[in-house]
Amino acid sequence: MQQLPIFIDLFGFGRRTFSVHTGVKLPAKRKTRQTAPTLSLSHFQFVSFGFWGWLILSTTKTLFRNMEVKSQESSISSAILKDSFEIEEATIKEIQTAFKQNKLTSKQLVEYYLDAIEKLNPTLSAVIEVNPDAQNQAAEADRDRNLPGGCSCGLHGIPVMLKDNISTKDKLNTTAGSFALLGSVVPRDSGVVNLLRKAGAIILGKAGLTQWAKYRSLCMPDGWSARGGYVKNPYGLSMDPGGSSTGSAVCVAANLVTVSLGTETSGSIIVPCNLNGVVGIKPTLGLTSRAGVIPITVRQDTVGPIGRTVSDAVYLLDEIVGYDPRDEITKEATQYIPRGGYKKCLKKDGLNGKRLGSLWYFFKDRCNYAPQVRETFEGLFSVMSQNGAVLLDGLDFPNLETIMNPKESGELLAFKYEFKRDLNVYLSNLLESPIQSLADAITFNEKHAVQEKLTEFGQDLFIESERTSLPNSEYTNAVNKLVNLSEQGFETYMKNNNLDAMVAPEDSATSILGVGGYPGIVIPAGFKPDGLPFGIMFGGLKGSDAALIEIAYALEQLTKARKPPKL
C-alpha cells in the first residue's frame, strides 16, 4: 500500500551476474563452463567508452571466473535432492538437520540457488551480482562440517544475500545500485559481513535495491537502480515491490536464497517484506553495526534480517548483533541482547500476557482496505486475544499525525543535512573510488545521464543535500524536534499504557519506528484480492526486540499465512 509519508520506504536508512545493462546473456541451460561474453557498446552509450567500459568489462569477466560446474555432478545433485530433501521453503533448522543426516550439502544448496537465479532473475532482476567464490565457500563449509567436532548449526554453510549497500572485501562490488561506485574498493568487510563470515555463512551475492536507498530523488521508483534495473514483485510483475531493500525481500520470497540482509532508515526493510510475503526485522538502533554500509544517516540507519519465517530471520539476527568498535552506538545496545540469543524467544505461547496497543483505529479508514483485508486483520486481532494477548485499541497517541508526516516532523529536513555529511565520510574511507564526494556523484550522473536515467528520475535530493553545511541551527532544531516527538509521542503512548508492543496493519507505522530508532517486525498476514501479499507489523521501545519476536513467532505459528509465489 502507499502510505501517508513520502519517505516511508527509505533505506533506513534488489543469472549469475548483473545482466540487465551490460548486454550479458546467460544460456537457458547451464553449461559445463561459462566464459565472459562480448559486451555490446550500445548498452552503455557512455560519453566515452574508455576507462568505464574497461572497468565494466573487467568486472564482468571477474564475475564469470571460477564458475565451472560439472554437468554430470549437477544432475546427480538434483536427483539426490529430489529423492531426499525439498529445498524450496526449507528453514535454516531443516537445512541444518539435512546436513547432519547427509541428505544435503552446502554445495548442493548453493547449486540449487544458482540454478534458481539463472532461471528466474532475468524476470525478477532481484540479484545484481552472484559471488564467484560462493561455490568455493560451500565446498569449504562441507569440509569443515565433516571434520571432528564440525558444526551443523546456526548459519554455518547457509547462503545469505546482501543488499548492495553492504560492503564486502571480496570480488563483489558495493555500489548502492549506481555505476558511480562500480569498481570502488572498500578497506574491509562491513561489520555485519565480518560476523557472517565468522559464523560460516556463504555470501551468495548482492541484491538489487532502490538506488542509493531511495535518496537520490523523490521520483525514484521502488526497486530501480542503474546497475540492476527494475526489481519485480514475484507475486505480480506489475505490482509494487516496495523499497529500498527490494531485492533482499524478493530473493527470499522467490526462494533464490535462504535468508538476506536489508537496511532501513524509515521503512526500507518493513515495506518490501510486507509487499513480498516475507518476515523482516528492523532491530533497535545500534543492535547491528552500520560500519561499512553506504549511509543515508547514521542517526537512523540500521541493518536487519529477512527470512521466510520468523525463526530464519532470528537465526540470522543472532549472528549479526553485538559490539563493533567501528560503530560506537553498538556498545550501548549490547545491553539489549538476551543471554543465549534471540532464538530462545521463539515461543509458541509468546502472545500470552502481552499488552498490545492497536493502531487499527487510526489506519483502517485512512488506508481504504478491501473488505477481505479488513476481515483478515480483525480475525488476527481475535486470534491474538484468544491466545492470551490484551489488545487495547483507540488509546491516546500524542503527536501521531505529526510523526507520520516526514515534512512536518522534520525528518526530511534532518536527512538533507545528514546524507551529505555521512556519505562523504563513507567515500573518504574507500581505498579506490570513481567518486570521492556527493558533489562527484552529482557530476557523474550528469555525465552519464542515460545510464543513470537522470532525465526520468532526476537527483533533486542529491542537489538539495549538497547545498547544505554543518553546523547549522536549522538542522539542530529539526533533530531536537524529532527527539521530542518520539519521547512525548510513542514513548508516552507505550509507557503510560504499560504496553509490550504496538500493532499496526501492513507497513503503516514505520515512520514512528524510524525517527526514534525503535525496533519493528513484520510477518505475512494474507493476500489482497489482486494476489498481493500483505503483512502485520509490531513495534516497541528500544530493546524490546525479544518481546516483538515472541509475539510475531507465536502469531505466525497460529496462522501460517505465507504462501510462496507461483513462478
Residues catalogued as catalytic: 163, 244, 268
Pairing of strands 533-539, 229-230: unpaired
Going from the C-alpha of 219 to that of each of 85, 158, 242, 307, 519, the distances in angstroms are 45, 37, 14, 29, 28
How far is the C-alpha of 165 from the C-alpha of 213, rounded, in Å?
8
Output the DSSP codes for 104-153. Answer: --HHHHHHHHHHHHHHHHHHH--EEEE-TTHHHHHHHHHHHHTSTT---S
Grid cell of 359 as nine digits: 493502531
Residues facing 522 on adjacent strands: 280, 537
Burial (CB count within 10 angstroms: exposed 0-12, middle 13-18, buried 19+), residue 46 = middle
Torsion of CA 312, 316, 319, 321, to 10 degrees: -120
Which is it for strands 259-266 and 159-163: parallel, antiparallel or unpaired? parallel
Do 231 and 127 touch, CB atoms closer than 8 A?
no
Which has the closest alpha carbon to 245: 221, 217, 213? 213
Cell numbers placing 14: 534488489
Distance CA 54, CA 72 (A): 35
